[in-house]
Structure 1
Amino acid sequence: MGETGETLLSLSGVHTHIGQYHILHGVDLEVPRGQLTMLLGRNGAGKTTTMRTIMGLWQARQGAVRFAGEDIARLATPDIARRGIAYVPENMGIFGTLTVEENMVLAARRSGLNAERLDWIYSLFPAMRKFWRWPAGQLSGGQKQMLAISRAIIEPAELLLVDEPTKGLAPTIIDALAEAIMALKQTGVTILMVEQNFALARRVGDTVAVMDDGKIIHTGTMAELGADTALQGRLLGLDIGGGTA
């Protein structure tokens, strides 16, 4: 893990267009090494576009995306992944007709399945061992999400991008996923996560950036935002009565 406050990923003045639509309007974002940064905002604020821009799936028309000091904004997605960035998209990106094992083999194409790393993943997500031979399409929503994250981390990554991991999941599954995410964070991996579930964000996040209309409008600690209901309402339109996760 790097020094406290060291920036692993930064976006500076990033503008992204999708077709004729100008989605990101000068995004400035810093992701500290070894921490979990929450990227929050209303639907349509530009969060997924930010994640896809970092991965090179959509290319920034203007601005810099720096990872470990290198501007990666003009690199192809496979080259970005090879530098140590893994991505779990909102649609999970798993192959439903393949088994869990086959999904994992495909994800570990560079180094192959490593028994020690698999055991570590099983410790995070015991369902992966239990359903190893099952077609991924037969898994529950929560199990599919666990498989998607397992695929992203089967090869060592410095930075993990996760887009709305709890969408559509039951509260008990969300709780298990939160425990796994916190355990993953303890290994030193840096995480940037988009999430609509504010209780989960408050529980697992260290730092937070809030987006609106394609720009970052607030940055700070997750603890500060979690404790300030007036600020939550102003930034996110939340009215959660100060409840705890």
Structure 2
Amino acid sequence: MNESLLTLEGVHTHIGAYHILHGVDLQVPRGQLTMLLGRNGAGKTTTLRTIMGLWKASRGRITLDGQDITAQPTPQIAGRGVAYVPENMGIFADLTVRENMLLAARSAKNADQIDEQRLKWIFSLFPAVEKFWNHPAGKLSGGQKQMLAVSRSIVEPRELLIIDEPSKGLAPAIINNMIEAFGELKRSGVTILLVEQNFNFAKRLGDTVAVMDNGQIVHAGGMEELAEDEELQHSLLGLAL
């Protein structure tokens, strides 16, 4: 296994009176795509939000590239090269696709200042982003919005992408486009942590996998190993398959 870019050690998270994460231990190897799987309510989204500082860990330690980020505010974590695409995608519906992209390109004051080569690369991954460049983002289909959300997260170079359920509700053709795009992102050297319910999507892309249940990691290892063991899949994921 490669050196870990992101590590969680004994992370607990409380939200109000509710104790959601119960000592999460997770390693995300540098340059690989790590799948975070589990039944609904297992704590996957809470884990992502805790990493990003949107919810604060009540106990434990989170390190990014060897630096402790447990108590850092979200903007500071993002400034370390971390991008987060939430399950609801976070698209600004009243803005155009171009304006959504510009908001994420912190080094650019207008669209003409966005890195041209990088934009061409993004358009090659997600042609719909170029096609609807001047259209209101709220008018896009669900799949097109997801493409925009991921494009926005990579408009500037990132060390780590954290993405919550990118295939949810998408047509098979769009899912295949997503798989190809994430494969290309992985080949470019980006480290990816991805929550997913679609096991076929997960096994086609994942290098490593962690499975959550009841706020804890109950299995961690290679994705290929889990993909080949139907009995293990059933015991860990049950009806989620």
Shorter-chain TM-score category?
over 0.9
How far residue 116 of structure 1 moved from its aligned partner, in angstroms, is 1.2
Residues 5-30 of structure 1 deviation map (CA, whole Å, 9 limit, x = unaligned): 11100000000000110000000000
Alignment partner, residue 243 of structure 1: none
1:109 and 1:82 mapped to 2: Cα distance? Answer: 10
Q: Residues of 1 paired with 2:81 and 2:173: CA distance?
A: 31
Query: Which SS does the other structure have where 1:133 is aligned?
Result: coil
Q: Which structure 2 residues correspond to residues 75-224 of structure 1 after superposition, within 5 A?
A: 75-111=72-108, 112-224=113-225
Partner letter of residue 86 of structure 1? A
Alpha-carbon distance in structure 2 between the residues aligned to 1:85 and 1:65 = 13
Where does residue 66 of structure 1 map in the other structure?
63
| Maintained 8 Å contact 2:38/2:240 | no
Q: Distance in 1 between matches of 2:50 and 2:85?
A: 14
**Stretches of 4+ moved more than 3 A in 1?**
none
- Once residues 50 and 85 of structure 1 are traced to their aligned partners in structure 2, the CA distance between those partners, rounded to angstroms, is 15
When the two structures are superposed, what TM-score results if normalisation uses the length of structure 2? 0.96
Contact 1:229 1:239 in 2 (8 A): no
Q: CA deviation at 1:239?
A: 8.3
Give the letter for the 2:122 counterpart: I
Q: How far apart in 1 are the matches of 2:57 and 2:93?
A: 31
Query: 1:35-79 deviations in whole A, cap 9, x for unaligned?
Result: 000000000000000000000000001000000000101000000
Instruction: Count how many residue pairs are aligned between Structure 1 and Structure 2.
Output: 237
Q: Percent identity?
A: 67
Q: Is this contact kept in 2: 1:35–1:191, CA < 8 A?
A: yes
Choose which of 6, 9, 27 in structure 1 pairs with 2:6: 9
